[in-house]
A and B are shown apart, each in its own frame.
Chain A
Amino acid sequence: MEYFLELLFGGLTRGSIYALIALGYTMVYGIIELINFAHGEIYMIGAFTGLIVAGLLTMLGFPGYSILAIALICAVIWAAAYGYTIEKVAYKPLRGAPRLSPLISAIGMSIFLQNYVMLAQTSDFLPFPELVPEFEFMKGMGSMLSSSELVIVLATVSVCLGLTLFIKYTKLGKAMRATAQNRKMAMLVGINVDMVISATFIIGSSLAAVGGVLIASHIGQINYFIGFIAGIKAFTAAVLGGIGSIPGAMLGALVLGLTEAFATGYVSSDYEDVFAFALLVLILIFRPSGIMGKEKIQKV
């Protein structure tokens, strides 16, 4: 029973991280119908920025909680800046082009960013300091649930809640929904579509950065390559839940996280990534619109 709970909480943690990244994928796809391959790299850049800031602050002798807070804020700021810049450089010039072009541009951007970080920093695995201190009341949980896992899940839940409220009740949220529905009509009613798209990228990148810093603190090390795998899995989660749908991304991420945790716990841990890819392939073959998605009618 304890093992089951341990796997359950592990799955929730994974699911939370996937959710934070998947939301970025699904929002961008909903708005400009592009799979942002470079999104996984934003997550990785957020983690790296967090590492750099945290390392710097640790050496300057800042107290524990403030390091976490400042590292998170810095990671969010810089990841948002990268997301905004990537959109302006690689996707905006290709807005009217056939679908293959922005996709290949995204792949190119992903490769560029991976190697940029590898060259600017290092190709080794960098150790990431434990930013979340152990809470007193968690001691009784033992190996089932650790403090950082709890922080991750709580952070994700609050972020998702915040995002849902934002999309539903604020003006910008309404503008985003409108642009996702029909871009030309949104322009006609006076929505600044460029700004809305940039805002989407910024929000998505911020979420990914939060996920990056928290999971890096939990796992303890980062590397320029983590964005690729995390990106694919988060994309799986987004597609599983129905790409373009925000609650779908959260649901899909949860399902994927739990599936992965239980599969690696009970079946085999070697094939961890294979489960995610196989699930992705199966979903795309049998139900491409995902759990909460609508069937898309293709018009000539």
Chain B
Amino acid sequence: MTTDVKNMDQQSFLQSFLSAGCESIPAAFKKSALVAIWFVFLTFPLMVIKVNTIEKTVIWRWENIAYIATTVFFGSFVWRWLLARKELKKDDSKQETKVEAFLTRIQSTPFLKYSLLACIGIVAIIGPLKFVAFGGKFQLLDLYQTNVMISCLLYIVLGLGLNIVVGLAGLLDLGFVAFYAVGAYAYALCNMHWDIGFWYMLPIGAVLGAMLGLILGFPVLRLRGDYLAIVTLGFGEIIRLVLENWGDVTMGPSGISNISRPEFFGTKLGVIGSTSYMYYIMIGLLIFTIFCVNRLQNSRIGRAWLALREDEIACQAMGIDKMKTKLMAFSLGATWAGMAGVVFAAKTTFVNPASFTFWESAIILSIVVIGGMGSIRGVIAGAVILILVPEYLRDFAEFRMLLFGAIMVLVMVFRPQGLISAKRKIYEYKAKTASAGNE
């Protein structure tokens, strides 16, 4: 029994929604009820019972049964409906979403595109500045919000770096945070021992990142998908454990503090000035990154990466040097992580191994995957959603990682190409109409 989801009147839509995936509405209700009962059973020990073996007490949270039952009952309808829609849509997977169509229209009209960019640019630049206007003080972003924006921009840069490795070249890297850590610790150590300033360390961090990317890339050249993921995960963990345990060099779990902030042409700025300064540095870095990634994407190496992602053996058969392409992907991705690491150390003036766990890698991976693999706009959207939104919903902070995990699963099941999928450049040729004297 197939139903066309689009051409429906309201009553039938409700019918098709409720009975999706089942023979009839009563059958759907029965199925949902059974699923709800199953989940109540499943979560019973963990959600309902809380045992304290020291004090010998038990807390029974019976109300959780009601929450789970109702959520799962209604959720199962939505789940089945979405799955049924996914089956129907299987053939036209190239369909654009409304958001994508909207963005494409803006980008194709130069006037709209540049005015939008100008608006974003103006808002971004006046962000942390204080104005005296309209008879009162006016500041778009205060100190706390500027910090949040710097954090978000850092994640965008990291996401774009990982995007090169995962999105463009298709190499699943779960240890990306290792390059981030190396950049941050390099600045921290050089600053602590030899008082090297931020602006000298920025390129050094980039170079270190690139070198570490090469070192990581060499041994894993032969590995495919799953194995590559695990090895990179192992590398990431090894780096973190070495940072934690090699106390003599890296100061162990207590970390390195009092890292100096970037200087403005030789003058040291206070906290507020520094934060605004870092904000502008990050905007500059972001523009640089977007520019580079965009050019890389449309270059020879970018197309080589896309070929590598689609089919490794076929790409070799076409004459693309697999080794060089993979190594370029790793080291270029790592370069940006290294630079971001230096900025991170300067921003927080304190580094310790706990900031560079696997979960950081997972968050950056989520940004790339959920935003849209291989697409710059997607990564920016992903970072904005995954970093800014939780910041403003601070009350729900403890649910943040829970939602990350759930969103990762849901996006993979229902929309594997991400929020804003990558757009290949399409050239349209319009046929020349026959006009007098032109043939």
Binding site for B on A (CB under 8 A): 33-35, 45, 48-49, 51-53, 55-56, 58-59, 74, 78, 81-82, 85, 89-90, 93-94, 97, 99-105, 107-117, 119-122, 126-129, 228, 232, 235, 239, 270-271, 273-274, 277-278, 280-281, 284-285, 288, 298, 300
Distance of A81 Cα from B227 Cα, bound (Å): 28
Known contacts A55-B58, A89-B409; decide if A81 and B46 are in contact (CB<8 Å): no
Complex contact A288–B223 (CB within 8 A)? yes
Complex contact B230–A127 (CB within 8 A)? no
Complex contact B313–A300 (CB within 8 A)? yes
Distance of A16 Cα from B372 Cα, bound (Å): 42
Binding site for A on B (CB under 8 A): 38-39, 41-43, 45-47, 49-54, 56, 58, 83, 86, 170, 172, 174, 219-220, 222-227, 229-231, 233-235, 237-238, 241-242, 245, 311, 313-314, 358-359, 362, 365-366, 369, 398-399, 401-402, 404-409, 412-413, 416
Known contacts A119-B398, A281-B235, A281-B238; decide if A108 and B46 are in contact (CB<8 Å): no
Task: Collect the chain A residues with CB atoms within 8 Å of residue B235's CB.
Answer: 277, 281
Complex contact B230–A35 (CB within 8 A)? yes
Task: Collect the chain A residues with CB atoms within 8 Å of residue B365's CB.
Answer: 104, 107
Complex contact B408–A117 (CB within 8 A)? no
Task: Collect the chain A residues with CB atoms within 8 Å of residue B398's CB.
Answer: 119
26 contacts between A and B (CB under 8 A): A49-B45, A52-B46, A52-B50, A55-B52, A55-B53, A58-B53, A103-B172, A103-B226, A104-B412, A108-B406, A111-B401, A111-B404, A111-B405, A112-B406, A119-B398, A119-B402, A120-B43, A120-B46, A232-B233, A274-B241, A277-B235, A278-B234, A284-B223, A288-B222, A288-B223, A298-B313
Return the contact of B416 from the options A101, A114, A288 (Cβ within 8 A): A101
Return the contact of B409 from the options A81, A99, A112 (Cβ within 8 A): A112
Q: Is the interface of B mostly helix, strand, loop or mixed?
A: helix
Known contacts A48-B46, A52-B45, A273-B237; decide if A280 and B404 are in contact (CB<8 Å): no
Shortest beta-carbon contacts, A-B, top 4 = A108-B408, A112-B405, A111-B405, A55-B51
Task: Collect the chain B residues with CB atoms within 8 Å of residue A34's CB.
Answer: 226
Task: Collect the chain B residues with CB atoms within 8 Å of residue A90's CB.
Answer: 409, 412-413
Complex contact B230–A121 (CB within 8 A)? no
Complex contact B50–A121 (CB within 8 A)? yes
Residue of A nearest to B358 (CB): A228
Complex contact B230–A280 (CB within 8 A)? yes
Return the contact of A271 from the options B38, B52, B226, B245 (Cβ within 8 A): B245
Complex contact A270–B172 (CB within 8 A)? no
Residue of A nearest to B220 (CB): A285
Task: Collect the chain B residues with CB atoms within 8 Å of residue A102's CB.
Answer: 412
Distance of A78 Cα from B222 Cα, bound (Å): 39
Return the contact of B234 from the options A81, A85, A280 (Cβ within 8 A): A280
Distance of A223 Cα from B90 Cα, bound (Å): 42
Task: Collect the chain A residues with CB atoms within 8 Å of residue B242's CB.
Answer: 274
Task: Collect the chain B residues with CB atoms within 8 Å of residue A285's CB.
Answer: 219-220, 222-223, 231
Task: Collect the chain A residues with CB atoms within 8 Å of residue B83's CB.
Answer: 93
User: Would you give the shortest CB distance from B168 to chain A, in whole angstroms?
Assistant: 13
User: Would you give the shortest CB distance from A142 to chain B, in whole angstroms?
Assistant: 28
Complex contact B230–A56 (CB within 8 A)? no
Complex contact B230–A284 (CB within 8 A)? yes
Distance of A127 Cα from B245 Cα, bound (Å): 26
User: Would you give the shortest CB distance from B416 to chain A, in whole angstroms?
Assistant: 5
Distance of A53 Cα from B219 Cα, bound (Å): 46
Task: Collect the chain A residues with CB atoms within 8 Å of residue B51's CB.
Answer: 51-52, 55-56, 59
